[in-house]
Amino acid sequence: MDKICLLKNTVQEYAWGSFTAIPELLGNEHPQDRPQAELWMGAHPKAPSMVEWLGHQEPLDKLIEKYPQEILGKAAAARFDNKLPYLFKVLAAAKPLSLQAHPSRNQAEEGFCRENDLGIPLNAPNRNYKDDNHKPECICALTPFWALNGFRNIPEILSLFDLISPSGLQNQLNHLRQNQNPRGLKQFFQALMALAPDIQKQVTDESIAKIKGQAEENSIFKWMKLLSNEYPADIGIFSPILLNLICLHPGEAMFLPAGELHAYLEGMGIELMANSDNVLRGGLTPKHIDVQALLSVLNFVEREIAIVTPQLKNNGEKVYPSPADEFVLSVLTVEKGMTYESSVNRSIELMICTEGESIFGDIDREEKISCDRGTSVIIPAAVKRYKIEGSATLYKATVPS
């Protein structure tokens, strides 16, 4: 396979998705009957992209099996066992996602093997590990994007709890005051997760009642109130106090390594991650929660979140720095009168146009493909050189060289 091809991608319908955001991106101005949460671009076996190849549609994972080096490039094919190592998404959250974390590679390998040995089916609701891979990820905002990511510093957590003073948590809070370190934070979080349902309801109801007059002026309390509307009596209502509350402006991004407790709250963004479906949940969900499994992967070191802005590479391309081995995200801005030309040494590239119209041209073959808003393409490594013209914004996923 050695041509630039159009992609047809699966839309995932989850309850927290938007009825309008993804349809509008794809050119459908009418709201959908069901919420559309994620547009998947990649070769994940759950929903591989379909590629227009030789006059018909072929699943990308099957094409990679046939032409691994041509599509991925020799280096990436060798490095990632002839598999596409990332999954590229458009994410549209109208409601909060679950509080969650992802395992490291070693944790995923051990957990996947353990659950296989126990005979737990892959589609079982109590299954924690769907594969043996880790899931570092990057989220880049297309609209203002609210999220929670990583534990706040402990004095700040204590100060925020002091403002609401839930009587049912005083013993746990006193223990945290006396043990302001990662071990103490883990014990505090574990105690919250172990509260009986009636105590959870008592402390959350009491706290929400106390913040009612402050919610409009304080974004932390505002999100606590919103979370309580969606998940009444869920201990995850306290997550805006425990975790860093972030609002990414369009064009800003953040990286989420293994073990960081997080939740996406609201907004539309481009998401790029290692090709895994491993999620360990900690609240704000009716789905399975395995507290011990979650505690075994969580990082309880308090940290400030680095907002990632793209760095100019060349000729209209800006790259988001990332420590991930599997992926790198960049944004291309093409304007009338200019031409973007690719580098010669590169791997597979997936791109989606989020604004405007552009023309992709294979320089050696003199073949062209139109790419307007909502359209996505695959550019195999075997395409030696290509150019882009027009007036458009495109997001690109590729493998680091």
Instruction: Calculate the dihedral angle through the C-alpha atoms of 40, 392, 369, 371, rounding to the nearest 10 degrees.
Output: 40
3-class DSSP assignment, residue 108: helix
Distance CA(128)–CA(279), nearest Å, equals 7
State the Rg of the chain over Cα: 22
Single-letter code of the amino acid located at 187: Q
Is the distance from CB of 241 to CB of 185 less than 8 angstroms?
no
Tell me the CA distances in angstroms from 24 to 88, 119, 237, 271, one per residue in order: 19, 43, 31, 18
Report how far residue 290's alpha carbon sits from residue 252's, in angstroms, rounded to the nearest whole number.
Answer: 32
373 catalytically annotated: no
Pick the catalytic residue from 34, 177, 183, 281: 281
- Count other C-beta atoms under 10 Å from residue 165's C-beta: 12
Sign of the CA dihedral with 229 first, then 234, 238, and 244 last: negative
Half-sphere exposure in the Cβ direction for 108 (13 Å, CA): 21
CA distances to 174, 192, 196, 200, 375 from 169, in Å? 9, 8, 12, 10, 51
Place of tokens 């290509």: 386
- Tell me if residue 116 falls in helix, strand or coil: helix
Cβ neighbours for 377, distance < 8 A, ≥ 6 positions apart: 4, 5, 6, 7, 350, 351, 360, 369, 371
**How many whole angstroms separate alpha carbon 31 and alpha carbon 23?**
7
Q: Using CA atoms, how far apart are residues 246 and 108, in angstroms rounded to an integer?
A: 27
Between CA 311 and CA 34 the distance in angstroms is 38
List residues with catalytic annotation: 281
